[in-house]
Structure 1
Amino acid sequence: MTRDPIAYKVLTGEQLATLESGSFAGAPVDLADGYIHLSTAEQLTETVDKHFAGQSDLHVAAIDLEAIGDDVTWEESRGGQLFPHIYNGPLLLETVLSYGPLERDDTGKVKLPVAG
C-alpha cells in the first residue's frame, strides 16, 4: 500500500508562530499522546470538523513525510483509517512544504496550502 508523501497539521496562530521559530513540539493532545497527530489530504476536513469546530485563527501546514523518514508511523484511528503520526521529536520547520490560513472551498472542504 502506497502512503501519501505529504500530510497536514492543523495549528492555532500561536502554534504556527512557534513552528515559524524552527520547531513545534506539539499541541496539548500531541504532548499527552506522545506523538504529533497529522492527517492526509482526504482526512483533513473531517479532522478539522471533529477536533477544531468553532475555533478561529487556524492554519494548515503541509508536511514532507519523506523528509521526516522513519519518525513517521501510520496507525489505525478514526473508523479504521491509517493516520500519519510523528514520533521521536518535534515538527521541524525545514520539513514544512507550505502553510497558510485554514480556508474552505464552496463545498466546505478544507483547502490545502499552496507552496509558493
Structure 2
Amino acid sequence: MIYKLLSSAEWDDALAVGAFAGSAVDRQDGFIHLSSGDQVVETARRHFAGATGLTLLRVEEERLGDALRWEPSRGGQLFPHVYGSLPVTAVVAARALPVDLPVPDAVAALLG
C-alpha cells in the first residue's frame, strides 16, 4: 500500500468527480506525491505539521498501472509518484486524521 495526505475538502472534491487531480504542490511539480508506509509519517512531519482537516488515503498500487512511478526524492529514497490524476477507485481506505494528536502521531495511529 501507498499513502496520500490531503485536505478533507480536497478528498470530498475528488469523490464528487471520481479522481484527485492533485494539490497545488502536486500540480506545480507535475505529479501527485505519495509515500510508502515507511515514509508517510516523516512526510506528515515535514509537510503537514500544524495542519488540520486532513485525510489519509490508502492506495492500492496495482490499481494505478503505468501512471505510478517510483522515483528518487528525499535523501535518494524512492517515492511513489502518480502522473495524471489519482482515481478514487484506487483508494481502498480514506480516514480523517484525529484532531487531538499532532499530524505525524495521528498518521502513525492510523497506520497502526
TM value normalised by structure 2 = 0.87
Which amino acid is the alignment partner of residue 33 of structure 1? D
Residue 82 (structure 1) aligns with: 78
SS of match in other structure, 2:38: helix
- Could you list the structure 1 runs, at least 4 aligned residues long, displaced by more than 6 angstroms after superposition: none
After superposition, the CA RMSD in angstroms is: 2.1
Distance 1:37 1:44 in 2: 11
Alignment of 1:1-116 (within 5 A): 6-21=1-16, 22-87=18-83, 89-103=84-98, 108=105, 110-112=108-110
Identity among equivalent pairs (%): 41
Which amino acid is the alignment partner of residue 27 of structure 1? S
SS of match in other structure, 1:73: strand
Which amino acid is the alignment partner of residue 64 of structure 1? E
TM value normalised by structure 1 = 0.84
Distance 2:61 2:110 in 1: 16
Distance 1:41 1:33 in 2: 22
Deviations 1:9-63, CA, capped at 9 Å, x for gaps: 0010111111212111000000000000000011011000100111001110011
Distance 2:74 2:97 in 1: 22
Q: Which runs of 5+ in 2 are unaligned?
A: none
Higher helix residue share: 2
Q: Which runs of 5+ in 1 are unaligned?
A: 1-5
Which amino acid is the alignment partner of residue 109 of structure 2? K
SS of match in other structure, 1:42: coil
Number of aligned positions between the proteins: 107
